[in-house]
Structure 1
Protein backbone atom coordinates (compact mmCIF):
# COMPACT_ATOMS: atom_id res chain seq x y z
CA UNK A 1 0.00 0.00 0.00
CA UNK A 2 1.40 3.37 -0.96
CA UNK A 3 -1.55 5.72 -0.44
CA UNK A 4 -2.00 7.47 2.90
CA UNK A 5 -5.05 6.89 5.05
CA UNK A 6 -6.24 9.90 7.03
CA UNK A 7 -8.31 9.44 10.18
CA UNK A 8 -10.14 12.69 10.86
CA UNK A 9 -11.32 12.36 14.46
CA UNK A 10 -14.34 14.57 14.99
CA UNK A 11 -15.27 13.02 18.36
CA UNK A 12 -13.11 10.86 20.59
CA UNK A 13 -14.20 10.27 24.16
CA UNK A 14 -12.45 7.60 26.19
CA UNK A 15 -13.60 7.55 29.80
CA UNK A 16 -13.27 5.53 33.00
CA UNK A 17 -16.34 5.45 35.24
CA UNK A 18 -14.55 6.52 38.43
CA UNK A 19 -11.66 8.53 37.04
CA UNK A 20 -10.56 11.35 39.39
CA UNK A 21 -10.54 14.84 37.90
CA UNK A 22 -6.81 14.98 38.63
CA UNK A 23 -6.16 12.10 36.19
CA UNK A 24 -8.47 13.60 33.58
CA UNK A 25 -6.48 16.83 33.69
CA UNK A 26 -3.20 14.93 33.53
CA UNK A 27 -4.30 13.04 30.41
CA UNK A 28 -5.49 16.27 28.77
CA UNK A 29 -2.07 17.80 29.40
CA UNK A 30 -0.30 14.70 28.04
CA UNK A 31 -2.26 14.77 24.78
CA UNK A 32 -1.63 18.49 24.38
CA UNK A 33 2.12 17.97 24.83
CA UNK A 34 2.13 15.02 22.42
CA UNK A 35 0.32 17.02 19.74
CA UNK A 36 2.54 20.05 20.20
CA UNK A 37 5.74 18.03 19.89
CA UNK A 38 4.33 15.52 17.34
CA UNK A 39 5.79 12.83 19.57
CA UNK A 40 6.37 9.34 18.23
CA UNK A 41 4.95 6.26 19.91
CA UNK A 42 7.75 5.69 22.44
CA UNK A 43 7.91 9.36 23.33
CA UNK A 44 4.12 9.53 23.81
CA UNK A 45 4.36 6.61 26.21
CA UNK A 46 7.26 8.24 28.07
CA UNK A 47 5.35 11.54 28.40
CA UNK A 48 2.33 9.70 29.82
CA UNK A 49 4.32 7.67 32.33
CA UNK A 50 6.14 10.76 33.59
CA UNK A 51 3.04 12.93 33.89
CA UNK A 52 0.11 10.67 34.85
CA UNK A 53 -0.10 9.17 38.36
CA UNK A 54 -0.63 5.71 36.86
CA UNK A 55 -1.58 4.21 33.50
CA UNK A 56 -3.35 0.95 32.68
CA UNK A 57 -2.55 -1.58 29.98
CA UNK A 58 -6.12 -1.27 28.67
CA UNK A 59 -6.15 2.49 28.24
CA UNK A 60 -2.73 3.12 26.70
CA UNK A 61 -3.60 2.02 23.14
CA UNK A 62 -6.80 4.10 23.18
CA UNK A 63 -5.40 7.18 24.91
CA UNK A 64 -2.18 7.38 22.89
CA UNK A 65 -3.11 5.38 19.75
CA UNK A 66 -0.32 2.87 20.35
CA UNK A 67 -0.33 -0.31 18.27
CA UNK A 68 2.54 -2.18 20.00
CA UNK A 69 2.06 -1.32 23.67
CA UNK A 70 3.67 -4.46 25.21
CA UNK A 71 6.84 -4.01 23.18
CA UNK A 72 7.00 -0.30 24.00
CA UNK A 73 6.55 -0.97 27.72
CA UNK A 74 9.27 -3.66 27.62
CA UNK A 75 11.66 -1.20 26.02
CA UNK A 76 11.07 1.58 28.52
CA UNK A 77 10.32 -0.10 31.85
CA UNK A 78 13.92 -0.50 32.99
CA UNK A 79 14.74 3.07 32.06
CA UNK A 80 11.89 4.41 34.23
CA UNK A 81 11.88 1.61 36.85
CA UNK A 82 8.12 1.06 36.63
CA UNK A 83 6.02 -0.42 39.41
CA UNK A 84 3.26 -2.83 38.35
CA UNK A 85 -0.06 -3.99 39.81
CA UNK A 86 -2.53 -6.55 38.43
CA UNK A 87 -6.10 -5.25 37.93
CA UNK A 88 -9.39 -6.08 36.17
CA UNK A 89 -11.03 -4.19 33.30
CA UNK A 90 -14.76 -4.04 32.56
CA UNK A 91 -15.51 -6.81 35.03
CA UNK A 92 -13.75 -9.65 33.23
CA UNK A 93 -10.50 -8.78 31.52
CA UNK A 94 -7.20 -9.05 33.35
CA UNK A 95 -4.44 -6.49 32.91
CA UNK A 96 -2.12 -4.27 34.87
CA UNK A 97 -1.27 -0.78 36.03
CA UNK A 98 2.14 0.83 35.56
CA UNK A 99 3.54 3.80 37.42
CA UNK A 100 6.84 5.47 38.19
CA UNK A 101 5.61 5.64 41.78
CA UNK A 102 6.59 2.80 44.09
CA UNK A 103 3.46 2.75 46.27
CA UNK A 104 0.40 1.50 44.36
CA UNK A 105 -1.81 0.74 47.37
CA UNK A 106 -4.20 3.58 46.52
CA UNK A 107 -4.52 2.53 42.87
CA UNK A 108 -7.95 0.96 42.11
CA UNK A 109 -8.29 -2.77 41.43
CA UNK A 110 -11.19 -2.49 38.95
CA UNK A 111 -11.86 -0.20 35.97
CA UNK A 112 -14.88 0.40 33.73
CA UNK A 113 -13.93 1.95 30.39
CA UNK A 114 -16.09 3.32 27.60
CA UNK A 115 -15.17 4.63 24.16
CA UNK A 116 -17.35 6.90 22.03
CA UNK A 117 -16.11 8.11 18.65
CA UNK A 118 -16.99 9.76 15.37
CA UNK A 119 -14.15 9.27 12.90
CA UNK A 120 -13.87 9.80 9.15
CA UNK A 121 -11.57 7.42 7.27
CA UNK A 122 -10.25 9.11 4.14
CA UNK A 123 -8.23 7.29 1.48
CA UNK A 124 -8.03 7.70 -2.31
CA UNK A 125 -8.38 3.99 -3.10
CA UNK A 126 -9.42 1.99 -0.02
CA UNK A 127 -12.42 1.77 2.25
CA UNK A 128 -14.25 4.47 4.17
CA UNK A 129 -15.36 3.97 7.77
CA UNK A 130 -18.81 2.65 6.80
CA UNK A 131 -18.03 -1.08 6.33
CA UNK A 132 -16.13 -1.15 9.63
CA UNK A 133 -19.01 0.56 11.42
CA UNK A 134 -21.50 -1.90 9.92
CA UNK A 135 -19.49 -4.91 11.08
CA UNK A 136 -19.18 -3.41 14.58
CA UNK A 137 -22.98 -3.03 14.71
CA UNK A 138 -23.65 -6.60 13.58
CA UNK A 139 -21.02 -8.48 15.57
CA UNK A 140 -20.18 -8.16 19.27
CA UNK A 141 -16.92 -10.09 19.71
CA UNK A 142 -13.81 -8.17 18.57
CA UNK A 143 -12.08 -11.24 17.11
CA UNK A 144 -15.17 -12.15 15.09
CA UNK A 145 -15.40 -8.58 13.82
CA UNK A 146 -11.86 -8.84 12.51
CA UNK A 147 -12.55 -12.20 10.89
CA UNK A 148 -15.65 -10.87 9.13
CA UNK A 149 -13.79 -7.78 7.92
CA UNK A 150 -10.97 -9.82 6.42
CA UNK A 151 -13.31 -12.34 4.77
CA UNK A 152 -15.29 -9.40 3.34
CA UNK A 153 -12.19 -8.20 1.52
CA UNK A 154 -11.37 -5.24 3.74
CA UNK A 155 -7.79 -4.13 4.30
CA UNK A 156 -7.64 -3.69 8.08
CA UNK A 157 -5.04 -1.43 9.66
CA UNK A 158 -4.09 -1.53 13.30
CA UNK A 159 -6.01 1.73 13.79
CA UNK A 160 -9.12 0.35 12.06
CA UNK A 161 -9.07 -2.53 14.52
CA UNK A 162 -8.58 -0.20 17.47
CA UNK A 163 -11.22 2.39 16.53
CA UNK A 164 -14.05 0.17 15.30
CA UNK A 165 -13.41 -3.34 16.60
CA UNK A 166 -11.93 -2.54 20.04
CA UNK A 167 -8.82 -4.63 19.29
CA UNK A 168 -5.68 -3.38 20.99
CA UNK A 169 -3.28 -6.05 19.71
CA UNK A 170 -4.28 -6.90 16.15
CA UNK A 171 -1.11 -8.94 15.54
CA UNK A 172 -2.13 -11.40 18.28
CA UNK A 173 -5.63 -11.78 16.82
CA UNK A 174 -4.23 -12.27 13.31
CA UNK A 175 -1.87 -14.94 14.65
CA UNK A 176 -4.84 -16.85 16.11
CA UNK A 177 -6.75 -16.63 12.82
CA UNK A 178 -3.72 -17.90 10.91
CA UNK A 179 -3.41 -20.87 13.28
CA UNK A 180 -7.07 -21.59 12.55
CA UNK A 181 -6.26 -21.84 8.84
CA UNK A 182 -6.86 -18.35 7.43
CA UNK A 183 -4.30 -17.03 4.95
CA UNK A 184 -3.63 -13.40 5.88
CA UNK A 185 -1.06 -11.15 4.23
CA UNK A 186 0.74 -8.39 6.13
CA UNK A 187 1.75 -5.02 4.74
CA UNK A 188 2.20 -1.47 6.04
CA UNK A 189 0.27 1.71 5.37
CA UNK A 190 1.03 5.38 5.94
CA UNK A 191 -1.59 6.87 8.24
CA UNK A 192 -2.31 10.27 9.70
CA UNK A 193 -4.63 10.91 12.64
CA UNK A 194 -5.38 14.28 14.17
CA UNK A 195 -5.61 13.09 17.78
CA UNK A 196 -1.82 13.02 18.16
CA UNK A 197 -1.12 14.92 14.92
CA UNK A 198 1.37 12.36 13.62
CA UNK A 199 1.96 10.54 10.33
CA UNK A 200 3.45 7.07 10.56
CA UNK A 201 3.43 3.54 9.16
CA UNK A 202 1.21 0.94 10.79
CA UNK A 203 0.53 -2.74 10.00
CA UNK A 204 -2.31 -3.54 7.59
CA UNK A 205 -3.78 -7.01 7.02
CA UNK A 206 -5.78 -8.58 4.17
CA UNK A 207 -7.26 -11.99 3.52
CA UNK A 208 -5.67 -14.08 0.75
CA UNK A 209 -8.32 -16.29 -0.87
Structure 2
Protein backbone atom coordinates (compact mmCIF):
# COMPACT_ATOMS: atom_id res chain seq x y z
CA UNK A 1 0.00 0.00 0.00
CA UNK A 2 1.41 3.38 -1.04
CA UNK A 3 0.28 6.98 -0.86
CA UNK A 4 -2.06 8.24 1.84
CA UNK A 5 -5.46 7.22 3.17
CA UNK A 6 -7.99 9.89 4.08
CA UNK A 7 -10.85 9.21 6.47
CA UNK A 8 -13.56 11.78 5.88
CA UNK A 9 -15.78 11.48 8.92
CA UNK A 10 -19.28 12.75 8.16
CA UNK A 11 -20.88 11.35 11.32
CA UNK A 12 -19.20 10.08 14.46
CA UNK A 13 -21.24 9.43 17.57
CA UNK A 14 -19.61 7.59 20.46
CA UNK A 15 -21.71 7.68 23.62
CA UNK A 16 -22.12 6.05 27.01
CA UNK A 17 -25.82 5.59 27.69
CA UNK A 18 -25.65 6.90 31.28
CA UNK A 19 -23.02 9.58 30.67
CA UNK A 20 -23.45 12.69 32.84
CA UNK A 21 -23.91 15.96 30.95
CA UNK A 22 -20.78 17.27 32.68
CA UNK A 23 -18.64 14.56 31.04
CA UNK A 24 -20.29 15.11 27.66
CA UNK A 25 -19.40 18.80 27.85
CA UNK A 26 -15.85 18.02 28.98
CA UNK A 27 -15.28 15.65 26.07
CA UNK A 28 -16.65 18.24 23.65
CA UNK A 29 -14.13 20.79 24.92
CA UNK A 30 -11.29 18.27 24.73
CA UNK A 31 -12.01 17.36 21.10
CA UNK A 32 -12.30 21.01 20.12
CA UNK A 33 -8.95 21.82 21.73
CA UNK A 34 -7.34 18.80 20.02
CA UNK A 35 -8.62 19.94 16.62
CA UNK A 36 -7.47 23.51 17.10
CA UNK A 37 -3.88 22.58 17.91
CA UNK A 38 -3.95 19.99 16.07
CA UNK A 39 -2.70 17.61 18.75
CA UNK A 40 -0.75 14.40 18.23
CA UNK A 41 -1.73 11.16 19.95
CA UNK A 42 0.15 11.68 23.23
CA UNK A 43 -0.97 15.29 23.48
CA UNK A 44 -4.61 14.30 22.85
CA UNK A 45 -4.40 11.85 25.72
CA UNK A 46 -2.74 14.42 27.96
CA UNK A 47 -5.47 16.99 27.22
CA UNK A 48 -8.17 14.41 28.05
CA UNK A 49 -6.57 13.37 31.35
CA UNK A 50 -6.27 17.00 32.42
CA UNK A 51 -9.79 18.05 31.47
CA UNK A 52 -12.15 15.07 31.91
CA UNK A 53 -13.16 13.83 35.39
CA UNK A 54 -12.24 10.28 34.35
CA UNK A 55 -11.52 8.32 31.18
CA UNK A 56 -11.95 4.63 30.45
CA UNK A 57 -9.65 2.26 28.62
CA UNK A 58 -12.52 1.32 26.30
CA UNK A 59 -13.39 4.84 25.21
CA UNK A 60 -9.89 6.28 24.68
CA UNK A 61 -9.26 4.67 21.25
CA UNK A 62 -12.71 5.70 19.98
CA UNK A 63 -12.88 9.20 21.46
CA UNK A 64 -9.32 10.22 20.56
CA UNK A 65 -8.54 7.81 17.68
CA UNK A 66 -5.62 6.34 19.60
CA UNK A 67 -4.12 3.18 18.10
CA UNK A 68 -1.70 2.54 21.00
CA UNK A 69 -3.67 3.67 24.04
CA UNK A 70 -2.15 1.25 26.61
CA UNK A 71 1.41 2.25 25.66
CA UNK A 72 0.48 5.93 25.77
CA UNK A 73 -1.06 5.55 29.23
CA UNK A 74 2.07 3.78 30.44
CA UNK A 75 4.22 6.56 29.06
CA UNK A 76 2.32 9.23 30.99
CA UNK A 77 2.26 7.47 34.37
CA UNK A 78 5.47 9.22 35.40
CA UNK A 79 3.96 12.59 34.51
CA UNK A 80 0.57 12.08 36.15
CA UNK A 81 -0.37 10.40 39.42
CA UNK A 82 -3.11 8.33 37.78
CA UNK A 83 -5.66 6.56 39.93
CA UNK A 84 -7.08 3.36 38.46
CA UNK A 85 -10.26 1.33 38.95
CA UNK A 86 -11.32 -1.95 37.31
CA UNK A 87 -14.71 -1.82 35.56
CA UNK A 88 -16.87 -3.73 33.08
CA UNK A 89 -17.74 -2.58 29.54
CA UNK A 90 -20.83 -3.59 27.56
CA UNK A 91 -21.55 -6.42 29.96
CA UNK A 92 -18.59 -8.58 28.91
CA UNK A 93 -15.24 -6.80 28.63
CA UNK A 94 -13.08 -5.88 31.59
CA UNK A 95 -10.98 -2.73 31.62
CA UNK A 96 -9.98 0.31 33.64
CA UNK A 97 -10.95 3.82 34.56
CA UNK A 98 -8.16 6.37 34.86
CA UNK A 99 -8.43 9.64 36.76
CA UNK A 100 -6.37 12.35 38.40
CA UNK A 101 -8.94 12.42 41.22
CA UNK A 102 -8.06 10.42 44.31
CA UNK A 103 -11.66 9.38 45.12
CA UNK A 104 -13.08 6.97 42.54
CA UNK A 105 -16.06 5.76 44.59
CA UNK A 106 -18.57 7.83 42.61
CA UNK A 107 -17.45 6.35 39.28
CA UNK A 108 -19.73 3.58 37.94
CA UNK A 109 -18.60 -0.05 37.93
CA UNK A 110 -20.17 -0.74 34.52
CA UNK A 111 -20.37 1.19 31.26
CA UNK A 112 -22.46 0.66 28.12
CA UNK A 113 -21.06 2.29 24.98
CA UNK A 114 -22.54 2.80 21.52
CA UNK A 115 -20.83 3.83 18.30
CA UNK A 116 -22.55 5.17 15.19
CA UNK A 117 -20.54 6.40 12.21
CA UNK A 118 -20.63 7.47 8.59
CA UNK A 119 -17.07 7.57 7.26
CA UNK A 120 -15.65 7.80 3.75
CA UNK A 121 -12.32 6.04 3.17
CA UNK A 122 -10.28 7.34 0.25
CA UNK A 123 -6.92 5.89 -0.81
CA UNK A 124 -4.56 6.22 -3.77
CA UNK A 125 -5.88 3.05 -5.42
CA UNK A 126 -9.47 4.27 -5.47
CA UNK A 127 -10.53 1.94 -2.67
CA UNK A 128 -13.46 2.73 -0.42
CA UNK A 129 -14.96 1.73 2.92
CA UNK A 130 -17.50 -0.61 1.26
CA UNK A 131 -15.67 -3.96 1.69
CA UNK A 132 -14.88 -3.19 5.34
CA UNK A 133 -18.51 -2.24 5.97
CA UNK A 134 -19.72 -5.43 4.29
CA UNK A 135 -17.52 -7.60 6.51
CA UNK A 136 -18.81 -5.76 9.59
CA UNK A 137 -22.37 -6.64 8.52
CA UNK A 138 -21.54 -10.32 7.88
CA UNK A 139 -19.46 -11.09 10.97
CA UNK A 140 -19.91 -10.02 14.60
CA UNK A 141 -16.68 -11.02 16.37
CA UNK A 142 -13.97 -8.35 15.87
CA UNK A 143 -11.09 -10.79 15.37
CA UNK A 144 -13.10 -12.86 12.90
CA UNK A 145 -13.81 -9.66 10.97
CA UNK A 146 -10.09 -8.99 10.79
CA UNK A 147 -9.38 -12.58 9.70
CA UNK A 148 -11.97 -12.39 6.91
CA UNK A 149 -10.66 -9.03 5.73
CA UNK A 150 -7.10 -10.33 5.46
CA UNK A 151 -8.25 -13.50 3.71
CA UNK A 152 -10.17 -11.26 1.28
CA UNK A 153 -6.87 -9.55 0.33
CA UNK A 154 -7.80 -6.31 2.07
CA UNK A 155 -5.08 -4.21 3.63
CA UNK A 156 -6.25 -3.22 7.09
CA UNK A 157 -4.99 -0.20 8.99
CA UNK A 158 -5.36 0.33 12.71
CA UNK A 159 -8.10 2.89 11.97
CA UNK A 160 -9.95 0.45 9.68
CA UNK A 161 -9.97 -1.98 12.59
CA UNK A 162 -11.23 0.69 14.96
CA UNK A 163 -13.93 2.19 12.74
CA UNK A 164 -15.43 -0.92 11.15
CA UNK A 165 -14.31 -3.96 13.13
CA UNK A 166 -14.47 -2.57 16.67
CA UNK A 167 -10.84 -3.49 17.30
CA UNK A 168 -9.03 -1.32 19.83
CA UNK A 169 -5.69 -3.16 19.89
CA UNK A 170 -5.22 -4.53 16.40
CA UNK A 171 -1.60 -5.60 16.99
CA UNK A 172 -2.75 -8.01 19.71
CA UNK A 173 -5.36 -9.57 17.42
CA UNK A 174 -2.84 -9.84 14.59
CA UNK A 175 -0.46 -11.63 16.93
CA UNK A 176 -3.17 -14.14 17.88
CA UNK A 177 -3.97 -14.78 14.22
CA UNK A 178 -0.30 -15.34 13.49
CA UNK A 179 -0.23 -18.01 16.17
CA UNK A 180 -2.91 -19.88 14.21
CA UNK A 181 -0.58 -19.99 11.21
CA UNK A 182 -1.65 -16.91 9.25
CA UNK A 183 1.29 -15.18 7.56
CA UNK A 184 0.55 -11.50 8.14
CA UNK A 185 2.90 -8.75 6.99
CA UNK A 186 3.11 -5.36 8.71
CA UNK A 187 4.03 -1.95 7.30
CA UNK A 188 3.06 1.69 7.85
CA UNK A 189 1.12 4.24 5.84
CA UNK A 190 0.27 7.92 6.22
CA UNK A 191 -3.33 8.65 7.16
CA UNK A 192 -5.41 11.76 7.70
CA UNK A 193 -8.73 12.08 9.49
CA UNK A 194 -10.85 15.21 9.82
CA UNK A 195 -11.95 14.34 13.38
CA UNK A 196 -8.53 15.07 14.87
CA UNK A 197 -7.31 17.09 11.88
CA UNK A 198 -3.96 15.30 11.95
CA UNK A 199 -1.81 13.40 9.49
CA UNK A 200 0.34 10.61 10.92
CA UNK A 201 1.72 7.17 10.14
CA UNK A 202 -0.18 4.11 11.37
CA UNK A 203 0.42 0.38 10.91
CA UNK A 204 -1.41 -1.65 8.30
CA UNK A 205 -1.61 -5.39 7.84
CA UNK A 206 -2.00 -7.71 4.85
CA UNK A 207 -1.88 -11.42 4.25
CA UNK A 208 1.37 -12.54 2.65
CA UNK A 209 0.92 -14.30 -0.68
**How would you bin the TM-score normalised by the shorter chain?**
over 0.9
Q: Map of 1:1-209 to 2, 5 A cutoff?
A: 1-125=1-125, 127-209=127-209
Cα distance in 1 for partners of 2:113, 2:91 equals: 10
Q: Is the 8 A contact 1:127 1:154 kept in 2?
A: no
Q: What is the TM-score when the length of structure 1 is the normalising length?
A: 0.99
Secondary structure at 2:77 match in 1: helix
Cα distance in 1 for partners of 2:203, 2:126 equals: 15
Q: Is the 8 A contact 2:89 2:95 kept in 1?
A: yes
Q: Is the 8 A contact 2:55 2:97 kept in 1?
A: yes
Q: Is the 8 A contact 1:55 1:97 kept in 2?
A: yes
Kindly state the Cα deviation for residue 77 of structure 1 after the two structures are TM-superposed: 1.4
Cα distance in 2 for partners of 1:97, 1:157 equals: 27
Provide, for residues 7-64 of structure 1, a one-character-per-residue CA deviation record: whole Å limited to 9, x for no partner.
Answer: 0000000000100000000000000000000100000000000000000000000000
Q: Any runs of at least 4 consecutive aligned residues in structure 1 with deviations exceeding 4 A, and if so which?
A: none
C-alpha RMSD of the superposition: 0.7
Q: Is the 8 A contact 2:158 2:170 kept in 1?
A: yes
Q: Is the 8 A contact 1:3 1:189 kept in 2?
A: yes
Q: Is the 8 A contact 1:157 1:205 kept in 2?
A: yes
Secondary structure at 2:47 match in 1: helix
Kindly state the Cα deviation for residue 124 of structure 1 after the two structures are TM-superposed: 1.8
